Structure 1
Amino acid sequence: MNTQPPIAASAAAPPTRPATPPSCWVLTDGKAGMENQCLGLAEAVGATPLAKRIHLKSPWRQLSPYLPLSLDHGLTPDSDALSPPWPDLLITSGRHAVGAALAIRRRSGGRTFCVHIQNPGVPFSRFDLVVMPAHDRKAGPNVMESLGALHRVTPQRLAAEAARFAPGLEHLPRPRVAVLVGGSNGVYQLTPALTGQLADRLAALARQGIGLMVTPSRRTGAENEAVLRQRLAGLPAMVWDGAGANPYFGYLGLADAVLCTGDSVSMVSEAASTGKPVYVIGLEGGSEKFDRFHQLMVARGVTRPFTGVVESWTPTPLDDTSRVAAEVLRRMAARR
């Protein structure tokens, strides 16, 4: 049985950090979604993490995580060095990082506390803690569930970024709504027709006096971006053009409510961590896991589906990152 609750009923208290922060490595193959989750957890425990990125040679690349990795022979020359002194805390994500994590755990004599985010594909007991999304439906004595993805969003970061971007958005009326637009991936499709429907709904909100702060992503696509710009032209809406600093966190900090497409667990989780009303924009497609994630978020009162209306309501706080960080520190302290 999993001894950890799937999600706290209320926002987690900030983790009690040790007087001396642990030395910490974050180890991934460099994919942004994986690395950001690891960095978010590392920062939440009070560490200043050293991010390391590795790539595997054959046959480890094809057979990871099942073939034990040799740190001396299994990494490509462009990988970051993995050598002593070993860190107090190692946080990994992705199947290509599993073998390296287990090798470091062995070479450190078990001193390094190893946390893996998402399913490692090997027995969970080989890690000190495994953090799994609730929609994966996995359990174990050293498994801790998160409702959403871990992330780097903090009140301090949102406040700083809001102050940074506020001067350029003073012309927008209040209330203001951040619109986070993802795009097509292996599960969902964002088509120009669907973007047109979304743009029409956004335009209707703007005509009601709501200021829109829209940030597309690389996956949105030029055609979809053009639809958004055309239909929001002349309305109180700012659509980021991709130039200059990314206003993503600034928009989250300045928003009174958030709309986001449902193609990214990380994006929905980051939006929900703000404590503001979050509406999820449905896209074409889906999968069993994504459907479970969105159903859980609605059932727990964290998000609502976007139907064209934005209301003021109080969502259930989502603070998986602090909750997991507190458990990591508790378990590390118990081993001393």
Structure 2
Amino acid sequence: MTAEAAVWTLADPRAGTAAQALGIAERLGVPFRTVPLAWGGMAGLPWPWPSLGGLTPAARAAFRPPWPRLVISAGRRAAPVARWLGRRGARLVHCMRPGFGAAEFDLLVLGRHDRPKEAANILPILGACHRMSPARLEVARRDWVALADLTAPRIALLVGGPVRAEGMDPTRAAAIGAEVAGFAGSVLATASRRTGGAATEALAASLAGVPHRLHRWGDAGPNPYAGFLAWADAVVVSGDSVSMLSEALATTVPVFIADPGGLGLRHLRLHGGLIAAGQAKMLAAAPTPFDRPRLDEAARVAAEIRTRGWL
């Protein structure tokens, strides 16, 4: 927003990471400045001290006074940048583990599935912060009203994929799609960059016998992702994506976790935590409905910032 804002949000070039910081800033209800981060060749190195050294020269040029009172950041690479601003008087709120200098942050927002230790500056949350606010879902419901014509129950199917691999196993993608198609009136499906082309086409084939909309990664035109969530009667999410699981929980409908296979302990802890909190069930429990409250951890973090008087 304004260049003179007292709140700066450091926006990592990775959309999912940036969304964690932006989601908190948007819940504060005050003007904030978004500072885009662009990483240079030194960004991959560990930076144990406060520094702008990982940024490109053009990105560094955006750092000029007046300095902010509050900085919100996310991701390991942004941590030394935030600490550099902290040395200039800013309060620091950071999502995800910072790598170095944890004690320099006024508030660290960490997922419970990462097993954070207890400390005065650590706020454990379920899942991750994001930008899928109730207000955004309300707008999406108006913008995508045509989805109301699809047969109920409308099941949003959010498919991710492994972080460091060549896409989801097409057989597994097809199996998830077929299971959802078996109880859906219609399916609102979206594939991510990590899903891969082969798995996306296998998913498409599995949905052929039921009314559906499938948004492939890279499709032209407006992205219906928020509209799918806004119009869903239930949401099924592949369990590899912390971001998509967290965004699904911004709704008030049942959320079911589909096992894509090959998940590590971190993701399994997340699933267990969500199930224990009554926020989700595994796909095997579908389509039996269950009640759950909306989960908005970004709003909870914003409330903590206001309570501590940092605005």
Q: With the length of structure 2 as denominator, give the TM-score of the two structures.
A: 0.90
Q: 1:214 aligns with which of 189, 205, 213?
A: 189
Summarize the alignment of residues 186-197 of structure 1 with structure 2, pairs less than 5 Å apart.
186=164, 190-197=168-175
> Counterparts of 2:33 and 2:276 in 1: how far apart (Å)?
37
Q: Is the 8 A contact 2:54 2:77 kept in 1?
A: no
> Counterparts of 1:74 and 1:228 in 2: how far apart (Å)?
40
Q: Secondary structure at the match of 1:132?
A: strand
Percentage of identical aligned residues? 36
Q: Secondary structure at the match of 2:195?
A: coil
TM-aligned CA deviation for residue 56 of structure 1: 5.2
Partner of 1:96 in structure 2? 77
Partner of 2:128 in structure 1? 149
Partner of 2:236 in structure 1? 259
> Counterparts of 1:175 and 1:59 in 2: how far apart (Å)?
50
> Counterparts of 1:303 and 1:187 in 2: how far apart (Å)?
26
Partner of 2:64 in structure 1? 83
> Counterparts of 2:135 and 2:246 in 1: how far apart (Å)?
17
Partner of 1:63 in structure 2? 46
Partner of 1:14 in structure 2? none
TM-aligned CA deviation for residue 34 of structure 1: 1.3
> Counterparts of 2:235 and 2:33 in 1: how far apart (Å)?
32
Q: Secondary structure at the match of 2:176?
A: helix
* 2:114 paired with 1:136: yes
Shift of the 26–316 alpha-carbon distance from structure 1 to 2, 3 Å rule, reads same
Partner of 1:23 in structure 2? 6
Give the structure with higher Rg (CA): 1
Q: 2:267 aligns with which of 290, 293, 301?
A: 290
Q: Is the 8 A contact 1:119 1:132 kept in 2?
A: yes
Shift of the 204–22 alpha-carbon distance from structure 1 to 2, 3 Å rule, reads same
> Counterparts of 1:32 and 1:323 in 2: how far apart (Å)?
21
TM-aligned CA deviation for residue 187 of structure 1: 8.0
> Counterparts of 1:256 and 1:303 in 2: how far apart (Å)?
14
Q: 1:41 aligns with which of 24, 28, 36?
A: 24
Counterpart amino acid of residue 223 in structure 1: A
Q: 2:200 aligns with which of 202, 220, 225?
A: 225
Shift of the 331–308 alpha-carbon distance from structure 1 to 2, 3 Å rule, reads closer
Counterpart amino acid of residue 144 in structure 1: L
Q: Is the 8 A contact 1:177 1:213 kept in 2?
A: yes
Partner of 1:279 in structure 2? 256
Q: Is the 8 A contact 1:60 1:74 kept in 2?
A: yes
Q: Is the 8 A contact 1:40 1:150 kept in 2?
A: yes
Q: Secondary structure at the match of 1:86?
A: coil
TM-aligned CA deviation for residue 101 of structure 1: 1.3
Partner of 2:160 in structure 1? 182
TM-aligned CA deviation for residue 182 of structure 1: 1.0
> Counterparts of 1:290 and 1:48 in 2: how far apart (Å)?
35
Shift of the 131–308 alpha-carbon distance from structure 1 to 2, 3 Å rule, reads closer
RMSD, aligned α-carbons: 2.3
Shift of the 202–308 alpha-carbon distance from structure 1 to 2, 3 Å rule, reads farther
> Counterparts of 1:265 and 1:190 in 2: how far apart (Å)?
16
Q: Is the 8 A contact 1:56 1:75 kept in 2?
A: yes
Shift of the 124–171 alpha-carbon distance from structure 1 to 2, 3 Å rule, reads same
> Counterparts of 2:303 and 2:273 in 1: how far apart (Å)?
23
TM-aligned CA deviation for residue 298 of structure 1: 0.7
Deviates more, 1:89-98 or 1:143-152: 89-98
Q: Secondary structure at the match of 1:190?
A: coil
Aligned residues: 304
TM-aligned CA deviation for residue 100 of structure 1: 1.6
TM-aligned CA deviation for residue 76 of structure 1: 1.9
TM-aligned CA deviation for residue 28 of structure 1: 4.0
Shift of the 219–102 alpha-carbon distance from structure 1 to 2, 3 Å rule, reads same
TM-aligned CA deviation for residue 57 of structure 1: 5.2
Q: Is the 8 A contact 2:162 2:240 kept in 1?
A: yes
Partner of 1:172 in structure 2? 150
Residue segments in structure 1 that go unaligned for 5+ positions in a row: 1-20
Deviates more, 1:24-33 or 1:276-285: 24-33
TM-aligned CA deviation for residue 230 of structure 1: 2.0
Q: Secondary structure at the match of 1:96?
A: coil
